[in-house]
Structure 1
């Protein structure tokens, strides 16, 4: 084992045992930033962006922006866009159907799932609070929840943040976006039939404050970014709590690749929320929780800004990382140095 690897493992063990933030702020950054990588159609400006996921070919990236601002109400723009490796837009859809795209997932049939969380600005009646399944060409195939209806029931959501489809077709929804909202994980079968749920508001095992993102590892374990509690929680697919990790900071977005490498974005840590931690993308192992890499937030004044850096994250087949940013309203591509 090289001395560098030994140092990384030792730092991770210290962080796991002692809960120290310092070790997790200074893991090596092996990536350089590609600024201005993707160009939206018709030279339009980026809006706030958190929904991002790779296509199954590993060479294309789906991204949904909020129509040049932070809300798609009244816009005729297509928020969902497919990009190739060069950042060229090759497909787009979704105009008039999505209000506030927040989370995204691409299933094994290349269908694109969007969690429409509504956001904070006033919106017209009858929109948002749904999870939608689209074909790769933008045909609406399924809607979970009731448009414009916020609620805690088996057929309603309150600002759903993310969606994930398991290999067997079961659907998991992180509901909802506010720290004092539904704070639950809801499970459906492949047809959209309600199976069950778990979670209430709080900071005990199995409780949440703003379950913000979902990912699943090769063992079928469900990772939940419990952002308001500045931690990750890990569950089996029936909702049994397996572990809680704090070494990935205050997670906003999650992605786990085929090698069980975990990418976790921290877009909110500052002196008030999660003091001592720095914002950026932490990279580590979904198997043992060791943090081995850190791409720091380029924003220099982290303690005095509410949010910056990537909120959503995705990784292509070549190992390139993509960070979708809400505050700066852009998408950055990170490639190995």
Structure 2
């Protein structure tokens, strides 16, 4: 697997590019619309070494990607979600990676979400997550400690 990754001058754009690349790679299409032979990537380059996932790690449908002030990349995903199953996802749904090396720093979020939907990081590096099935918004510390929960089952 390879991901389009930015060099330091274009750091602010890296989260969007990573999300786009992960989304298209998960579909097995690679980046068919990006012709690297005819169009320069500017400050971006393809890295076959990024991300570095542990062997056997299940990266499900990615629903959000954001980068915090420490260049940690947070990925919110659906792990092994089976759509005919209405139970919570038992595997970690948040993947925290080192932005430079692509190595996993932490995983968390197991047994909390049914259908992960959105991710945002605020100015204090708090991680905001939404679950569309549970109709909830969550605020977590970067380490995965639940700080706030808004909403309830409908």
* Deviation readout 1:17-36 (Å, 9 max, x if unpaired): xxxxxxxxxxxxxxxxxxxx
Contact between 2:116 and 2:132, CA under 8 Å: does it hold in 1?
A: yes
* TM-score normalized by the length of structure 1: 0.31
Q: Higher Cα Rg: structure 1 or 2?
A: 1
Q: Which deviates more from structure 2 when the two are superposed, residues 179-188 or residues 231-240?
A: 179-188
Q: Equivalent residue for 2:38?
A: none
| CA shift for structure 1 position 235 | 0.4
Is 1:176 aligned with 2:78?
Answer: yes
- Which consecutive residues of structure 2, in runs of 5 or more, have no partner in the other structure? 4-9, 30-40
* Counterpart contact for 1:231–1:246, Cα < 8 Å: yes
Consecutive unaligned residues of structure 1, counting only runs of 5 or more, are 1-96, 99-106, 129-134, 202-206, 248-272, 275-337
Q: Which runs of 4+ in 1 moved over 4 A?
A: 135-138, 179-183
Aligned to 2:98: 189
Deviations 1:28-49 (A, max 9, x none): xxxxxxxxxxxxxxxxxxxxxx
1:317-332 equivalent positions in 2, closer than 5 A: none
Q: How many angstroms does 1:160 deviate by?
A: 2.2
TM-fit CA distance, 1:197: 0.9
Change (3 A) 1:138 1:169: closer
The SS at the match of 2:133 is: helix
Aligned pairs for 1:191-230 within 5 A:
191-201=101-111, 207-230=112-135
Return the alpha-carbon distance in structure 2 between the equivalents of residues 220 and 236 of structure 1: 7
Q: CA deviation at 1:208?
A: 0.9
CA shift, 1:139, in A, is 3.0
Counterparts in 2 of 1:162 and 1:243: CA distance versus 1, 3 Å: same
- Secondary structure of 1:116's partner? helix
Q: Could you say what the CA RMSD is over the residues aligned between the two structures, in angstroms?
A: 3.4
Deviation at 1:213, TM superposition (A): 1.6
CA distance in 2, matches of 1:225, 1:232: 5
Deviation at 1:186? 1.0
Q: Distance in 2 between matches of 1:109 and 1:187?
A: 18
Aligned length: 122
Aligned residue in 1 for 2:33:
none
Q: Deviations over 1:160-211 (max 9, x none)?
A: 222111111111111227465545101111211111111223xxxxx11122
2: distance between equivalents of 1:144 and 1:195?
11
Distance 1:228 1:152 in 2: 27
Give the Cα–Cα distance (whole angstroms) in 2 for the partners of residues 136 and 113 of structure 1.
15
TM-score by length of 2: 0.62
CA offsets per residue over residues 219-253 of structure 1, 9 Å max, x none? Answer: 21100112221111110001111000129xxxxxx
Contact 2:67–2:121 (Cα < 8 Å) also in 1: no
Determine the C-alpha separation between the residues in 1 that align with 2:107 and 2:51. Answer: 14
Is 1:110 matched up with 2:13? yes
